[in-house]
Amino acid sequence: MISMEARLARLALKGDQRAFAEIVGLYQDKLYHMAYRMLNNRQEAEDAVQDTFLRVYKNLDRYDENMKFSTWIYRIATNLCIDRLRKRKPSYSLDAESNEHEGLDGYSMIPSDNRTPESETLLSEVQQTIHKAIDTLPAKYKTVMILRYLQELSLQEIGDVLDMPVTTVKTRVHRGREFLRKRLEREF
C-alpha cells in the first residue's frame, strides 16, 4: 500500500495545491523545530523550512516511493540546514578570542537571537543548559542528536536520512551523549 504522503505527493504533482498544503501541514512544525535547533535562529529556521518545501515541490517527480516520505523530506531539510551552518561557519576556533573584537569569543559572533527568547523561559534551567550544550556540538553530531531526540527517529532511519551506515550513526550518538554527559557533570 502506498503511504498517505506518497498519495498526496502524486496529487500535488498533478497540480493539486491543496494536496501540497496537506504535506506542509504534516511536516511544517517538525521541520521548524528541527531547523530551529540546528540553526538556533528563528528567522533562519523559517527560511530553511520554506526552502525545504520549495525544493520538495520542485522535485516531487523525483520522489522515490520506495523511500519513506519523512526520510526524504528530512534529508532535504538537514542538507539545507547543514549548508546554512557551513556558510556562516567561522574560520576561527569558537573558543579563541578574536583580535578585532576584543573580549568577544567565537560564540558571541555566531548570528543568534537572544539566547533566552520568550518561549525558552518555559524551559527549565536544565533544559536550557542541554540545548546550549547541543548547540555547541559540531554539525555532524548535532544533526544526529536532533534527529534522534527531537524527531525520535530510529538509528536505522537516521542512517537513511543522512545516507550513512547505522554503525556511523551509533558512534555519533555515543560521542554526542558522552559530550553532553561531560557538559552536564560540569554544570551540576
Partner 1 sequence: MNCNVATSWIHDYLDGELPREEAIQLKAHLLACPACRSRFEQLERTEAYVQAAFSADTRSLAGSDAYNAAALTDRIIGALPTAPKKRSWTRWLRNHPAIAVASVFAMVMLSSFITMWEQHGELVVRGTDLDQVVITGNRVIVPEGARVNGDLTVENGITEVAGEIQGNLTVIDGTLNMASTANIIGEEKTINQALDWVWYKLKRTVNDLAS
Contact residues: partner 1, CB under 8 A? 12-13, 15, 17, 20-21, 24-25, 28-29, 32-33, 36-37, 42, 46, 49-50, 53-54, 57-58, 60-61, 117-120, 122-124, 126-127, 130-131, 134, 145, 149-150, 155, 170, 173-174, 177-178, 180-181, 184-185
Phi and psi at residue 153, to the nearest 5°: -85, 155
Residue closer to partner 1 by CB (options 161, 173) is: 173
Residue closer to partner 1 by CB (options 25, 165) is: 25
Residue closer to partner 1 by CB (options 95, 118) is: 118
C-alpha cell at 131: 540545548
Give the C-alpha distances (Å, rounded to integers) separating 92 from 18, 106, 110, 112, 172. Answer: 46, 7, 11, 17, 24
Is residue 112 helix, strand or coil?
Answer: coil
Residue closer to partner 1 by CB (options 53, 85) is: 53
Residue closer to partner 1 by CB (options 46, 65) is: 46
What is the nearest approach in angstroms of partner 1 to the Cβ of residue 101? 27
What is the nearest approach in angstroms of partner 1 to the Cβ of residue 51? 9
What is the nearest approach in angstroms of partner 1 to the Cβ of residue 42? 6
CA distance 185 to 167: 27
Helix-strand-coil percent breakdown of the chain, rounded to 5?
Answer: 70, 0, 30
CA distance 47 to 37: 14
Instruction: Report which of 126, 138, 172, 139 is spatially closest to residue 153, judged by C-alpha positions.
Output: 172
What is the nearest approach in angstroms of partner 1 to the Cβ of residue 60? 6
What is the nearest approach in angstroms of partner 1 to the Cβ of residue 117? 6
Give me the residue label for grid cell 536532533. 146
